[in-house]
Structure 1
Amino acid sequence: DIEIHVHPFALSYCSHGYRPQEVLPFTGSMGPFFNVFCATIVSLSLWRIRNPKLLPLLMWAGTAYIAEGVAMFIDIAGLPILTDWGKVIIIGGVSPVIIGILGIIFVTIGSIFMLLLMPLENVSHRDSFGKKYLITTSISFYFLLSVIYTSIFVLFVLDNRLIAFFSSIVFSLLLTTIYNPIFPFLDRLSHTKTFQIGWSEVKIALGSAFGIVIIVLVFF
């Protein structure tokens, strides 16, 4: 049997047991697609009852699409290394252009999901650039936790996490910059009133996010 280890801050990997010698081209891409599939179902199912208390689950779709889209770009840049998408390109014969286009589509969808949630985070398009930027750095905060963890326990992947951290800062800046210009489109797509967030919403949202991390650490 093969044990699959999923870690919220470090590398995910397989260990123990027999591993087939044949490298299958599309097995690596099944994980990203499964993540996006589950995230989309959960986030869209909760969309009608949009509430700040549900932010960790509502954000799942946005972060999944962005993370998997960026992973496609990284794997293309890393060719001919047999990463998840490297296998699809080299062994499966899929053009890197197609994977790149798919990556752009994923990042675009993820960005729209994230920007649609801004009103739930008590952010209006009329607010200052600094406030909007601070909210969009939630992805950067995750990578900061990842940098801290890997710098202590998994030092050999620290460079990878540092690149992701600084890239996320630039990405957050881009999201903040485009928010006002595309706000009319976002408002037509899904109008959401701006919520005033209290400590109860913050505690429940952080508690559920912490619970998700614990579940991943314990069971995977």
Structure 2
Amino acid sequence: MSYVFEPAPIVSVPVLGRTARFPVHRIYCVGRNYEDHAKEMGHSGREAPFFFMKPFDAVLLVNPGETARLPYPSLTHNLHHEIELVVAIGTGGKNIKAVDAAQHIFGYAVGLDMTRRDLQNEMKKQGRPWCIGKGFDASAPIGPITPAAKAGDIAQAEIYLQVNGQERQRSQVSKLIWNVAEVIEQLSAAWTLQAGDLIYTGTPEGVGAVVAGDTLQGAITGLGSIMLTVEVQ
């Protein structure tokens, strides 16, 4: 088969303990999935889950033991960090029940949902899509994927983020409003999940701005940590 130009390379994430990599299909994100974060964003209660997407090539790989470079994106003066548990789907499906969700999970990773908050807020005011605030280049940093069998009890894991050594976010995955299995059930009712999908499951309270020169370190129990610095493009 011929193409009018060379197809884009496959975006992939390394898997701990394996040479084979995880090819990325789509990136789904869950909004306001920790109660205290929902409150700091002006909402409360266990609202129905809602989702947004990032381009698959928004992935910014953070290799173990390295400090990745996060380019400060254009058009914004309020770039926010959001530390998140990422679920990697290994077996796709439609209308997956929560009780069956674990069978579809390949593994887990530490990720960041970087957000151009000023642009997102302006889109909210105008009733327009958030794409410009959420789906920009390098907006989905992620560490290597830990296979589910080696991740431990992820539901009880701690999740935290530090900026320049100062703690910004800390919580437990158990505080998710909609847990991982419930998210997969809801998400697969709206889209047919595919092997290679990544699900960013939401962020705890404490989100805030970062500027050029800042160093971010995030971690989740059993999944290791990621580190990156914000740089001017």
With the length of structure 1 as denominator, give the TM-score of the two structures: 0.29
Bigger relative contact order, structure 1 or 2 (CA pairs below 8 A, ≥6 apart): 2
Q: Which has the larger radius of gyration?
A: 1
Structure having the larger proportion of residues in strand: 2
Structure having the larger proportion of residues in helix: 1
